[in-house]
Chain A
Amino acid sequence: MKRLLPILLLFSMSACIYPFDIQKEEGEHMNLVVSGDILIGETSRITLGYVYPVGSPVGAMRKEFPMGTLTLEGDGGFSCKGEYQYRGVYSFDTSTAPANQRYRLNIRLLDGQEYASEWLGVYQAPAVSDLRAEPADNGLQLFISLDGADSLWNFRWDYTETWEYHADFVPVLMFVPGLPDGDNEDPGKIYRERYPEEDYYYCWTSRQSVEPGLASAEGQSGNRIKDRLMMTIPYTDPRISTLYCIDVTASGLSPGGRAYLQHLHDISNNTGSLFSPTPSEMPGNIRCLSDPAQVALGYLNAVQRTTSRLFVPPTYYKRGYDPEALLFYPAPDEDGRYNFDQVFVNDSPVRFSGEAPTRENVAWAPKRCVDCRASGGTKNKPEWWPNSHK
């Protein structure tokens, strides 16, 4: 009975969410989308795009978008024209834009439609009072604490993760099937020694956050937030295998901007539960001047930003597999060939003892065990990376 009851409950409760076909819509793009912020003190990037029918391939949505002119004006006389970069991105040189002005973005599309944002006051940057990592049961947790400026009560943070990792083994020989022997190809010769430049042991990679972190201190006695969980990294995650770095960019937000982004997050991720609010579209702060019936999506903010960086050593990393278990000894087929390409492409032997590699004295490994690039990284080490790994 003790076992039966939980099973009965599970029977009815555990499997209650199922995939559901997306109702794909037909047709062309719909509303204009304006995303990005006016970044005072640095280069701003505003992206124009469209709403596409749900189910459209994401790649197809990243279209070139040189379809109009964008200008940024300040109520103190500042003016800047956007320069088209690529795929709808316009850049503005706002590195010298004064923080004591209000700004407005004007958009004129090639089809004649004109849009404009509201006048936007500049929000000061909060201070990152603490950025730290702490071990927990389910992984390494990263927390952030922010202190707002005088009138700053709403916060946003984004981050860029950069991490160094390495392959499991350093190979001695490289698997190159059908290596030429002079002018002739020798099917039996399948390896050569590794050149020095073929050092694929250390790699670096980087990625940006997708969802902005949002927090509000409204209703609190102090305009700061403490120990907000940004993410949890499992202990077996390669990100913390060698050296991990997170660069956090924090900025302030208008109350409307925070509500808009929070609403955007909620209707994209937090729907469907028993008590979820009915999803709906929340108006942004961009209006179509030429046709009030047109609705543009997006909410611009004019902000200053601050950054903070945290390195995490591999103290907590636990390798989730045994690379030794992936090693194997090669065997030729009936024709005496090593058809590894049937299984592994360009895989490399990693262990060699004796003068001539034989089945017994060479252990081979998949490429991902000896070439860090196979996991998505590159050999492009950031200039500011603090160690001497190559």
Chain B
Amino acid sequence: MRKLVVCLLILAGFSCYAQSPLFRGREMRDYGFAFNGHYFWNTAQFVPGTVFFNGILYQNVPVNINAHTQDLLALESEFLTPVVAERALTAWFQIDGIYYMNLRYYGVSDAPEGFFQVLTDGRRTVWMQRRKLFAREPGNHNGLKGIGYDDPNYRENVIAYFYQQDRYYIEKDGAFKRIRPGRARRAAMRPVIPDLDGTPSAAVPRTLSRPPLLKGSSESLPPGWFSTQDPSEERRALLAAIEQENLIASYRNKTYEIGSVGAAARATVSGVVRDVASGEPVQSALVSDSSGKIYCYTDPEGRYELTLPTGDNLLSFREYSMEDMDVHVIVHGSGGLDVVMREKVTALQSAYVTANSMANHRNAGMGLEKINSATITHIPSAFGEGDVLKAVLTLPGVKSVGEASSGFNVRGGSSDQNLILFNGGTIYNPSHLFGIFSAFNTDVVDDIELYKSSIPVQFGGRISSVLDISTRDGNTERIRGSLGLGILTSHLALEGPIVKDKTTFVLGARTTYSDWLLKRLPAVSGYSGGKASFSDVNLGVTHRFDERNTLKVTGYWSRDGFTFRGDTTFRYSNLDVAVKWTRTADSGRTLSVSAGYDRYSNTLDRGYFTDPLGSYSLKTTVNQGFLRAGVKQRRGVHTLSWGGDAVLYGLSPGMLQPTGESLVIQRSLAPEYALEPALYAGDLWQPEGSPFSIEAGLRYSSFLAFKPAKYYAGPELRLSGKYSPLPNLSFKAGINSMNQYIHLISNTSSISPMDTWKLSGADILPQRGWQAAAGAYWTVLGNSVDISVEGYYKRMYNYLDYKSGAVLSMNEHLADDLVRTRGQSYGVEFMLRKQTGRLTGWVSYTWSRSLLQEMQDRGLETINGGAWYNAPHDKPHDVKLVGNYKFTHRYSVSFNLYYSTGRPVTIPVGQYLYGNALRLMYSERNAYRIPDYFRLDLALNIEPGHYLKAFTHMSATLGCYNVTGRRNAYSVFYTTTAGRDVRGYMVSVFATQVPYISLNLKF
């Protein structure tokens, strides 16, 4: 509630910056709600006044001032209809002998938008602006402050009203500064009658940059002066004058005129879509015309560009977390229109993925899933910490080998086949605390995009998927922050402007107190005395040089460390630094250039006490620098993109250092260096009105390994097409191929802290893969429910598996312990998603298989005799239900249900005596499965109340992870007790209900 009001107020303030066209329509303002009082300066009556507009002095014109929007209103002479004067052309006006000046007109750029009275306090000139602010608060219908009404979104009654606020300003040291005079001082102020016949003198501070040339005078407004039917040259000239300025549309159902009248049948409209509250660009908003056939999505900088027919158009702006925005535009020629949208005030924006229900029918790409931070924080999770990866795992086609496991698997791919980008930097280990938490702080995360099928041509380097995560820009208006407290972790975020309207920052940090907790565990727990901790810090600074140039600098650092029993300590750390420059040219061409440095290192300290002569510290490091440049340009029905990127790798596969009195020889494996450059070009062909669209691209990636030199290269195809016989029905198909030159070296089922990475070289071939997919998408029930089915078939080559007893660390001949496999995966994903109403969410069912086969014949040692075998993440049946039911604005319930087939495991099928001990003989690889997985999570979300004046807003989530307390198996294993008896055990990470409470404070 408060958030809405704040948005509205800022929305009002934002409109002051509007470079609005002359005519705004006959409907003055659609507030969309009832309110008490009026928004006029002093009286609701129009009174005769004098207006200096566009160099012409109009006298005895019925005028008034809207103090809420700081607009001059005039009654058009013929029809006595109120219209809004273009503020940029209004120098001053006078009502009842009091002069109101538009200081910006006179070049005082640091003055707030609007009109000012000129006063003097006897010593200096003071400018006073009266504002009418809008407020809403809980109350009864007949409250003293105003009338009330029932808002269907709220359980309480609400009073809405305007209240007056006068602001005083002076000029000091060349700057326009606000002062807060006391009551007595205000009473002593007297109006100044400025000399306004061409030379305002003391009424205007500083030098005039725009002298008000008096071109003539009139007693009344001419007929049709503000009318769209006005054919006069004067009006055309006015429109041309403002054509160069981008429009900012901030209200729905208004008409905006764009461009100067010309002969062209079509014109290009472009602009930036921003969040009105924070000023941040709105990414991935769908911008479309009324037919839905002409559309585009905003880029990460919020930019859009459409080619529209000249004349009347209705532009729709849709973004799942923002309120719908419809703007009437009259397109005369090419021009700009910036748009502000306001955030939806809902308890849970659980509907996610696309901008709206129809999005899937407009996009030729397949397999793109989107999720935002608001959704993440409301998906129930263990310990209540909003988790990016756990949210990603609720999507169809995404699996993991078990809960609390690092990494994820997309459509049968292994976890190292996912390119995880965080502000463009690569994250090599995306988890904290063995996989219980993800490495990403949801406080600063913006949109998350997972490409699991049609991977855009600018991405490469992994053969399964791309998870693109970016942090938000900081709030442009004021310093804001949030603080979260959970059972195991806490997090803090701060954001705000550094230089007003130019530079913002966002800072996020998390830490855990599990060390403290582990020390207090009883010895019988087995974890007493252990240590496990993590921290991470995010920093982003965004600077807008101007409307066309933006520079963003981001940094991310994380560290993990843990010790459980014994004297073995694991540590790992991620570091990513990136800088990105985005420039939008006049032609709508967008250029992005980014560069950065990523580092991942892990360290194992072992044996200091238990094996003093053999104790060591083992460290591996992945370093990479990257440079990317890409251009995107719309030309007619084509949207072209081209560019290139290069990644320079420097890997240290192992550095062994003795510790203490150790006899371990210090040694290092030879470092690996390589360069991975790539060029790409793509085109989205999207003819208007056609049910067909095609997106095609070619990426040529290459890889040059140094010492020993080895060169690999190959094309990567990206092709997808769409056919939409009906607006709400579409069919798509696509195929893409990928190459991967860096490999995770691990023989565990999930990513472990000691996993290392290895580059392709003379003895390790690049992984190659392709995927073909097809799907049907149907939107029904008033565009509120999406039904989709997607099928895919994927092949992979040169994926690395391991020989029995392979030694993976400090192995100079590692390739000898590896085997190459080919993989195939296929499946069908059904999904039903509801995005509107009290109940939102989705249910999905996936049937899929993922199989591997060794490519070499090693005789008896060939894995499973050379037959296809189950990949570790092969889970054929997978059902996910994620939902949210909103009782009121403040209270909602989230639920999450997950069922899947148990993952494949290798278990003992035989036992034998060897020496004095009983030993186990294992089955063929992954021939058996652990028990099926089932989990239900529930959470109650309580959003902040409606108290407008509160500085802080507290939200809380009470939940329970694994409500049924099912002991889901992470793995099963067998031991020979005392070497004489075989016993089976099951590891269950969360073997019982895990209640949690999470508190989040925003300020």
Contacts and interface: CB of A to CB of B under 8 A. Distances in A.
B187 interface: no
Interface in B576-626: 610-614
A274 B913 contact: no
B525 A13 contact: yes
Contact of B984 (A20, A31, A277): A20
B987 A54 contact: no
Contacts of A274: 404-405, 434-435, 748, 750, 752, 970, 987, 989
A8 interface: yes
B979 interface: yes
Interface string B728-760: 000000000000000000011110111000000
Given A219-B667, A225-B613, A21 B914 contact: no
A260 B915 CA distance: 13
B710 interface: no
B208 interface: no
Contacts of B487: 5, 8-9
A31 B913 contact: no
Contacts of A61: 911-913
Nearest to A260: B805
B910 A22 contact: no
Nearest to B996: A8
A313 interface: no
A151 interface: no
Shortest 7 CB-CB contacts between residues of A and residues of B? A272-B973, A210-B979, A275-B752, A20-B986, A51-B910, A220-B663, A271-B973
Contacts of A21: 984
B978 interface: yes
B527 A14 contact: yes
A283 B804 contact: yes
Interface string B784-816: 000000000000000000101101001000000
A166 B435 CA distance: 53
Contacts of B995: 8
A309 B915 CA distance: 21
Interface string A25-47: 10000110101100000000001
Given A6-B520, A8-B995, A61-B913, A280 B975 contact: no
Contacts of A62: 913
Interface string A273-285: 1111111111100
B748 A268 contact: no
B567 to A, nearest CB: 11
A325 interface: no
B919 A268 contact: yes
Interface string B941-982: 000000000000000000000000001011111111011111
B22 to A, nearest CB: 64
B669 interface: no
B60 interface: no
Interface string B459-479: 000000000000000000000
A321 interface: no
A297 B921 contact: yes
Interface string B118-135: 000000000000000000
Interface of B: 382, 404-405, 434-435, 487-488, 514, 517-518, 520-522, 524-527, 610-614, 656, 662-665, 667, 747-750, 752-754, 802, 804-805, 807, 810, 859-861, 872, 906-922, 925-926, 928, 967, 969-976, 978-992, 994-995
Given A219-B656, A275-B753, A268 B912 contact: no
A59 B981 CA distance: 11
A210 B978 contact: yes
A74 interface: no
A107 to B, nearest CB: 16
B748 A226 contact: no
Contact of A49 (B912, B967, B972): B912
A9 B514 CA distance: 9
Contacts of B980: 58, 210
A358 interface: no
Contacts of B972: 20, 272
B973 A276 contact: yes
Interface string A4-24: 011011111111111111110
A350 B650 CA distance: 79
Contacts of B989: 16, 274
A326 to B, nearest CB: 28
Contact of B909 (A25, A211, A271, A272): A25
A222 interface: yes
Contacts of A20: 969, 972, 984-986
Contact of B664 (A5, A36, A220): A220
A30 B910 contact: yes
A56 interface: yes
Contacts of B911: 51-56, 58, 61
Interface string A326-350: 0000000000000000000000000
A222 B663 contact: yes
Contacts of A25: 909-910
Contacts of A222: 613, 663
Given A14-B527, A16-B988, A272-B973, A282 B910 contact: no
Given A56-B911, A274-B989, 10 more contacts: A22-B974, A31-B912, A49-B912, A54-B910, A229-B610, A271-B973, A271-B975, A272-B972, A274-B405, A277-B802
A381 interface: no
Nearest to A262: B805
Contacts of B988: 16-18
B974 A293 contact: no
A18 B991 CA distance: 9
B860 A212 contact: no
Contact of B925 (A19, A55, A227, A278): A278
Contacts of B749: 278
Nearest to B990: A12
A208 interface: yes
A221 interface: yes
A77 interface: no
Interface string A286-299: 00000011010110
Contacts of B522: 6, 10
Nearest to B976: A268
A233 interface: no
A16 B974 CA distance: 15
Contacts of A305: none
Contacts of A11: 992, 994
Given A58-B980, A274-B750, A263 B804 contact: yes
A277 B985 contact: no
Contact of B914 (A264, A273, A275): A264
A205 B859 CA distance: 48
A30 B985 contact: no
Contacts of A388: none
B982 to A, nearest CB: 6
A12 B985 contact: no
Nearest to B810: A219
A219 B916 contact: no
A267 interface: yes
A38 B727 CA distance: 80
A217 interface: yes
A220 B804 contact: no
7 contacts: A18-B986, A54-B921, A58-B918, A260-B805, A264-B919, A271-B971, A274-B748
Contact of B912 (A33, A209, A278): A33
Contact of B922 (A209, A281, A283): A281
A298 B917 CA distance: 13
A246 to B, nearest CB: 16
